[in-house]
Amino acid sequence: MIKVAIAGARGKMGIEAVHTMTKQPDITLVSVLDYKEIGATLRATGLFTYDVPVYTDMATLVTETKPDVLIDLTSPQAVYANTKQALQLGVRPVVGTTGFTDEQLIELTALAETSRLGCIIAPNFALGAVLMMKFAREAARYFPDVEVIEMHHDQKLDAPSGTGIKTMQMMQEVRDVKQQGHPDEHETIAGARGGNVDGMRIHSVRLPGLVAHQQVLFGGDGQLLTLRHDSFNRGSFMSGVVFCVEQVMTKETLVYGLENIL
């Protein structure tokens, strides 16, 4: 039985994760971590019927409930500190929150390897989104002219999204640097052409009603190749979360991206 704690259990993803973890035959939810006092158990929030203890201090949570895995679904401001502390306390993180810097990932990788603890950071838990990124990497070998449009709900804090950034990084691995468009191109409104990564462009859309969506557009002579993935609800991420919880128990290092363990 894998014992799991969840950070960010009251968020939209967190609520879905709580319900999912309590339904798994080989996983038990032992505690949750919150940034403020919300009562002794989840039942006190009015969102749940589960008597799972709530903590505001991770060290106390680990000492009293001894989780094997911490699922972090918090915010870019909190996720690095949570992940680092979990590893220092001997708990394996499964992280769905984005916003890590390259330096932070290097530090966390070294810490995971020193501790011989698995850590999985997944910019996107939806298996369809992971396949989209893998297909984009393959297409970038043959279509160097590419733009990414990532679309999310208007409460998302980081832009571009972790999925968008990961997609660009995967295409960078196989694509030669190329500055796209006309060499004399000029933005009459700053930012109109989006972010620039080795000549590739990425655009972030934030609107109410959206959940998580991304298009990768490849242009060629007389043709357009479009890869698109849509998550219409947060249930689309849960099979990936369960998979990561199971897989992180078998790892002794940090894995960045679900595509690396499929």
**What is the set of active-site residues?**
152, 156
Give, in order, the Cα–Cα distances in Å from 157 to each of 75, 77, 129, 240.
Answer: 8, 9, 20, 22
* φ, ψ of residue 117 in degrees (nearest 5): -120, 140
Q: What is the rounded distance in angstroms from the CA atom of residue 149 to the CA atom of residue 151? A: 7
Q: What is the rounded distance in angstroms from the CA atom of residue 150 to the CA atom of residue 203? A: 6
Cis bond before residue 144 (omega within 30° of 0): no
**Residue 105 φ/ψ region, left for φ over 0, alpha for ψ in the -120 to 50 degree band, beta for the rest:** alpha
41 Cβ neighbours under 8 A, 6+ residues apart = 50, 51, 52, 53, 54
* φ, ψ of residue 59 in degrees (nearest 5): -60, -40
Q: What is the rounded distance in angstroms from the CA atom of residue 262 to the CA atom of residue 259? A: 5
